[in-house]
Chains A and B, each alone.
Chain A
Amino acid sequence: MSTTETLPTGHEVVATPVRRRGGVLSALRWELRKLRAQYRARAVLLGALLMPIVVVVVIQGQSRPPKDTLLGRFATENGFALALLVLGFASQWVLPLLTAIVAGDIFASEDQHGTWKTVLTRSTSRGRLFWAKTLTAAGFAALVLLVLAVSTIASSLLIVGHQPLIGLSGQTIPTAEALRLVAASWATMLPPMLGFTCLAILLSVWSRNPAVGIAAPVVIGMVMQLVGALGGVEAIRPFLLSTPFEAWHGLLTQPRFTGPLVEGLLTSGAWCAGSLAIAFVLLRHRDITGG
């Protein structure tokens, strides 16, 4: 009593927070811990590690190379071409799916388990949880891409070989540079993949249903791919989130062109920013009535 009475504002003593509050970092650690405990996250990483090896072995065993895909005609005899063939295939729906498995679930699973009320009654603001979850999903996307890229490139080179690569201008690319360019091509998948991550987050927040959060980005990605491949509607290509997946072509030509890479970065960024903004507003304003 005597200590509080000396304080100028006695009322404030009661109102003073008695406990600390976790910041975004604590929330992030919590999300990472949950992710590590989830079977699906480990399954995705394991798949990203092993699937490329299977695909590489299967393609290498083909008697005819898959000529109808870019660089496919060299895929059975050149590891770099094969790594890029897998890249082209992965960008069609595998990359959106791999990121959506976590990003499309990370918000909706709180609805599924009814745990929004559990975490939101812990002095953790919705904004902090939002960013922790978004960072977790984005980090996971980057990790999956890294694992997939390293596994694909390593298995292609080890199983098929590392002869000089014939580029997209017919030029012969020496081994060392080919490795650099193939790795860079894989790296250019990150912006559109993060775009899909943000889209999955939006769908996850909006639908409150993990199945929608996971499946819808993949379907939307495939529809965009289809629309982008149509003749006559090419004016919308720059706005599609599937277009940046093809920007790596410019790295393998001579002279190199990077316009599509820059555009892809802008497109992915715009999709991401738009999706996250809508998702944030939706989450901030929703009434948590379930659970």
Chain B
Amino acid sequence: MTDVLAVDAVGVTKTFGAVRAVDDISVRVKAGEVYGVLGPNGAGKTTFLRMLFGLIRPDSGTIEVFGRTWDEAGVGVLDGVAGFIESPKFYPYLTGRQNLEGLALLDGGVRPGLLDEVLDLVEMTERADQKVGGYSYGMRQRLGVAASLLREPRLLVLDEPANGLDPAGIRDMRALVKRLAASGLTVLLSSHHMDEVEEICDNVTIMRRGSVAFHGSIADLRAMAPDPGHRMVTSDDDRAVALAARHPAVSVVRDPDPDGRPALAVTGPQRQVSGYVASIVQADVELLELTPTQTPLEALFFMLTDDETEMEGAR
């Protein structure tokens, strides 16, 4: 019975002057899933999410949220939807709690205790009574999540929530998003990092310069991914290259560092690479360094969003 899609965007297009920020995008998010919108900076992710919230009017195309459109339901489209676009913004002259109280007023009030619950969830209880003007970027980001959860949404939309955070902040934010996703919430997440999306998302849309570069499940994406790459430094690169001839599935090429130190780029399926490395070690060549350069999905992501490559999405 829940075949009503959380988001059903069809053929959405938006141009700013000469820039086609979003070009004929269609996104379908099923209720309960965690959906990723991936793309490098300027791909049009934010513009698409703004249209979802009615902040921007699309030039053409329709956006349905839980079966309702802006034309019919007006702002009612946002019932059950919460989230933030880019970095969340608050009134700097009010405290965190006052900001949330005000936003709760705009929502028509919230159930008692919820405000403290969400502050607690994002670990902002202690700083809630300080003015937002003095908050750090990460604190504002967490307050943004709290403000969204205050709406007790069924669909949570987060636009690059880890953007601009320090490593610890990124880790905390990802953990938070993971927890929220695990709680059964429908989440629409945008990101320009593959690894942020691949762990938690069921389906993704990869955008490139306003249009769709890939559309499908993470599993489909994995199937398309190239072999993992490694960077290898040995005591005897000539022997190592020669030994590669016995491993046809593995490609080994000289790939010196930018500063000239010799190194080898090793690409191939994981099992075969392991066999090759074992043969080097058996041949008494010392293995000084072996590091993965790119995860396969990352490599695919760069391929898909690189301006030179054209690829049709699966599905």
Chain A residues with CB under 8 Å of chain B are: 4-5, 10-11, 13-15, 17-23, 26-27, 29-30, 33-34, 37-39, 113-125, 285, 287-289, 291
Name the A residues within 8 Å of B184 (CB-CB). Answer: none
Asked if B107 and A291 make an inter-chain contact with CB atoms under 8 angstroms apart, the answer reads: no
A34, B84: Cα distance in complex, Å = 21
Closest residue of B by beta carbon distance from A1? B1
The residue among B57, B83, B91 with the most chain A CB atoms within 10 A of its own CB is: B91
A30, B76: Cα distance in complex, Å = 20
Q: Which 7 A-B pairs rank lowest in CB-CB distance, beginning with the nearest?
A: A20-B108, A17-B79, A114-B89, A288-B55, A22-B108, A122-B106, A125-B75
Assess A121 versus B66: contact at CB under 8 Å? Given A27-B106, A291-B86: no
Assess A121 versus B107: contact at CB under 8 Å? Given A287-B57, A289-B56: no
B78 sits at the interface (CB 8 A): yes
Interface hit among B147-155, B189-197, B258-266, B268-276:
B147-155
Asked if A29 and B53 make an inter-chain contact with CB atoms under 8 angstroms apart, the answer reads: no
Asked if A37 and B107 make an inter-chain contact with CB atoms under 8 angstroms apart, the answer reads: no
Asked if A122 and B107 make an inter-chain contact with CB atoms under 8 angstroms apart, the answer reads: yes
Interface hit among B92-100, B167-175, B248-256, B301-309:
B92-100
Count class of interface residues, chain B: 35 or more
Name the A residues within 8 Å of B134 (CB-CB). Answer: none
| Further contacts, 5 of them, CB under 8 A, given A30-B105, A115-B91, A122-B106 | A19-B80, A117-B86, A118-B147, A121-B82, A287-B55
Interface residues of B: mostly helix, strand, loop or mixed? loop
Asked if B93 and A18 make an inter-chain contact with CB atoms under 8 angstroms apart, the answer reads: no
Chain B residues with CB under 8 Å of chain A are: 1-4, 16, 31, 47, 50, 53-57, 66-68, 74-76, 78-86, 88-94, 98, 102-103, 105-109, 147, 151-152, 154
Name the A residues within 8 Å of B4 (CB-CB). Answer: 11, 14-15
Asked if A113 and B84 make an inter-chain contact with CB atoms under 8 angstroms apart, the answer reads: no
Assess A30 versus B102: contact at CB under 8 Å? Given A17-B80, A21-B108, A22-B108: yes
A17, B290: Cα distance in complex, Å = 55
Q: How far is the CB of B146 from chain A (nearest CB, A)?
A: 12
Asked if B79 and A123 make an inter-chain contact with CB atoms under 8 angstroms apart, the answer reads: yes
Assess A123 versus B76: contact at CB under 8 Å? Given A18-B154, A37-B93, A117-B85: yes
Q: How far is the CB of B63 from chain A (nearest CB, A)?
A: 14
Name the B residues within 8 Å of A20 (CB-CB). Answer: 107-109
Asked if A22 and B105 make an inter-chain contact with CB atoms under 8 angstroms apart, the answer reads: yes
Asked if B108 and A19 make an inter-chain contact with CB atoms under 8 angstroms apart, the answer reads: yes
Name the B residues within 8 Å of A120 (CB-CB). Answer: 53-55
Name the A residues within 8 Å of B89 (CB-CB). Answer: 113-115, 117-118, 291
Assess A14 versus B31: contact at CB under 8 Å? Given A113-B89, A115-B91: yes
Asked if B152 and A34 make an inter-chain contact with CB atoms under 8 angstroms apart, the answer reads: no
A-B contact pairs, 22 of them (CB 8 A): A5-B1, A11-B4, A11-B67, A18-B79, A19-B152, A21-B107, A22-B106, A26-B109, A27-B105, A113-B91, A114-B89, A119-B106, A120-B53, A120-B54, A123-B75, A123-B108, A124-B75, A125-B74, A125-B75, A287-B50, A288-B56, A289-B56
Asked if B79 and A19 make an inter-chain contact with CB atoms under 8 angstroms apart, the answer reads: yes
CB < 8 Å: which of B67, B74, B85, B103 contacts A15? Answer: B67
Name the A residues within 8 Å of B94 (CB-CB). Answer: 34, 37
Assess A18 versus B106: contact at CB under 8 Å? Given A38-B93, A121-B55: no
Q: How far is the CB of A99 from chain B (nearest CB, A)?
A: 21
CB < 8 Å: which of A10, A19, A115, A117 contacts B107? Answer: A19
Asked if B92 and A113 make an inter-chain contact with CB atoms under 8 angstroms apart, the answer reads: yes
CB < 8 Å: which of B50, B102, B109 contacts A288? Answer: B50
Q: How far is the CB of A80 from chain B (nearest CB, A)?
A: 41
Q: How far is the CB of A27 from chain B (nearest CB, A)?
A: 6
Closest residue of A by beta carbon distance from B76? A17
Q: How far is the CB of B198 from chain A (nearest CB, A)?
A: 27
Name the A residues within 8 Å of B103 (CB-CB). Answer: 118-119, 122
CB < 8 Å: which of A4, A11, A18, A26 contacts B105? Answer: A26
A115, B87: Cα distance in complex, Å = 11
Q: How far is the CB of B117 from chain A (nearest CB, A)?
A: 16
Closest residue of B by beta carbon distance from A27? B106
Name the B residues within 8 Å of A30 (CB-CB). Answer: 102, 105-106
A19, B1: Cα distance in complex, Å = 21
A116, B56: Cα distance in complex, Å = 12
Q: How far is the CB of A290 from chain B (nearest CB, A)?
A: 9
The residue among A5, A21, A122 with the most chain B CB atoms within 10 A of its own CB is: A122
Q: How far is the CB of A120 from chain B (nearest CB, A)?
A: 6
CB < 8 Å: which of A11, A114, A285 contacts B1? Answer: A11
A117, B50: Cα distance in complex, Å = 9
Asked if A124 and B106 make an inter-chain contact with CB atoms under 8 angstroms apart, the answer reads: yes
Name the B residues within 8 Å of A22 (CB-CB). Answer: 105-109
CB < 8 Å: which of B56, B88, B93 contacts A287? Answer: B56
Name the A residues within 8 Å of B105 (CB-CB). Answer: 22, 26-27, 29-30, 33
A33, B78: Cα distance in complex, Å = 24
Name the A residues within 8 Å of B84 (CB-CB). Answer: 117-118, 121
